[in-house]
Structure 1
Amino acid sequence: MDDIKIGEILLPGEESEQERREHKVRRRFWPTFRRAARQIPFSRDLVAAYYCAVDPATPTRTRGILLAALGYFVLPLDFVPDVLAMIGFSDDIAVLTAAFAAISGQIKERHYQKADEVMRDSVDS
């Protein structure tokens, strides 16, 4: 996967595109995350990114980039099938890493606190 493809994936998009992505991300994020949690080395950041993306206080451009990256993460079909052990999420990781670099510092402590709470609750259940 080259930088041009990642750049295209991470385009924030128009408001209607962001709404469509948000709906898809809200519906598919948690089932996809549960499958990927052991394979993604930055699960806490991923969950915090989810909360940042769905937070209305997050700037539009940041929301758009995160929703694009999370939308790619929840796609059932992508460049490298997610069912392949250990390498299946490598393309998702590349897209998410680029997104995190593009929105540097926009994921706030409150998003991480919510991520910690949800992840702690999922371990306890």
Structure 2
Amino acid sequence: MDEKQSMEQMIEDKEQHYSEKDFFKTLKKYGAKLGFKGLHTAATLYTALKSPNMSKGNKMIILGALGYFILPLDMVADILPVVGLSDDLVVLTTALAKVFMSMDDDMKNDAHALLKKTFGERYVYEEVDTVDMQ
């Protein structure tokens, strides 16, 4: 069984919680409100989810975080100004902290490429401050 089939089995019957289509829809809709680090965190988790080098356990953590991100009604409704995405950022950042040591540079670089492809000229790469996740 290849990695894509394995991922599809992990996601099976969880479409109400996570879908690639809804991820990109949410990323585009709230991208500016998330800010650069929030965008990069979401994109990095997404690329790590797609990587065959990420463990299934870590992929389940990522699926949970990305599922929460795309959920329109969560602890703090995303439509509320300023605070609406704060809980999403906490969940995304916490998930990134848990899987960070399992990530490689390709996953991080793929996140920048994904954001450039998604947002075009509106996305300008800035060096992300390194956070000690240990």
Does the pair score TM above 0.5?
yes
For the pair 1:24 / 2:21, whether they are aligned, the reply is no
- Higher relative contact order (Cα pairs below 8 Å, separated by 6+ residues): 1
Cα distance in 1 for residues equivalent to 2:85 and 2:98: 20
For the pair 1:33 / 2:30, whether they are aligned, the reply is no
Q: Is the 8 A contact 1:18 1:67 kept in 2?
A: no
**Structure 1 residue 87: Cα displacement:** 0.9
- How many matched pairs? 111
TM-score (norm 1): 0.75
Unaligned runs of 5+ in 2: 1-6, 123-134
Residue in structure 2 matched with residue 89 of structure 1 by the alignment: 85
Cα distance in 1 for residues equivalent to 2:18 and 2:47: 14
Max Rg structure: 2
Q: Is the 8 A contact 1:48 1:107 kept in 2?
A: no
Which of residues 114, 120, 124 in structure 2 aligns to 1:123? 120
- Residues 16 and 106 of structure 1, relative CA distance in 2, 3 Å threshold: same
Matching of residues 68-83 of structure 1 within 5 Å: 68-83=64-79
Q: Is the 8 A contact 2:44 2:111 kept in 1?
A: yes
C-alpha distance after superposition, 1:76-124 (max 9, x if no partner): 2111110112111111111112112222322321122222112223223
**Structure 1 residue 16: Cα displacement:** 8.6
Percent of aligned pairs with the same amino acid: 27
